[in-house]
Amino acid sequence: MRTRHLLFAAATGMIALGNALPASALPGDTATSISVTSGFLSITVPVNAGSLGTRANTVLGGVISGPLGQVVVNDARSAAAGSGWVASAISTAFTPPSGPAIPASAVGYTAGAITKVGTATYTANDPVNLTGVAPAVTATGITGDNSATWNPTINVAVPGGIAANVYTATITHSVV
């Protein structure tokens, strides 16, 4: 007889605990939540732009200009109003398989039209020399998430009397 009372009391206690509901939940409701964290500031650039162009050697030299390909900055940091970012570029010298190179000081960058998403003011800085890290596009006055896309033109001042060859360089972008 004593065993029956303990089992009944234990079963009654479990039923009472099982029916306890949070104050804000109704029968059939399930409380749940999600977390959204801030995103990242990132830059995407073309892997290989290919040839920027060709020109015949002349005594005075000249400029070869060509499109690099689409550059995209995405800013999903939910940055504070008024903040900003700077996308920069730097170039190595344009070097042939052998012989003198065209220095990075002869390499310029023109951002061109900037397509934007979100609220910010975008400025094309158009550096004329990519010897060091140079601001290419600046975003200021940001409110919330934003994105900018442009297709820069690279301008290479080819000196006169340079050897006929294929010259290659690497242009590196960064964003902070």
pLDDT digits (tens, 9 = 90+) for 49-62: 999 999 999 999 99
Domains in the chain: ranges and CATH = 38-50+57-175 (2.60.40)
pLDDT digits (tens, 9 = 90+) for 105-117: 999 999 999 999 9
Name which of 87, 55, 8 is nearest 155 in CA terms: 55
Q: Residue 10 — pLDDT band, cuts 50, 70, 90?
A: very low
pLDDT at 5 over 90: no
Virtual torsion, Cα 70, 40, 148, 50, nearest 10 deg? -10
- Its pTM stands at 0.79
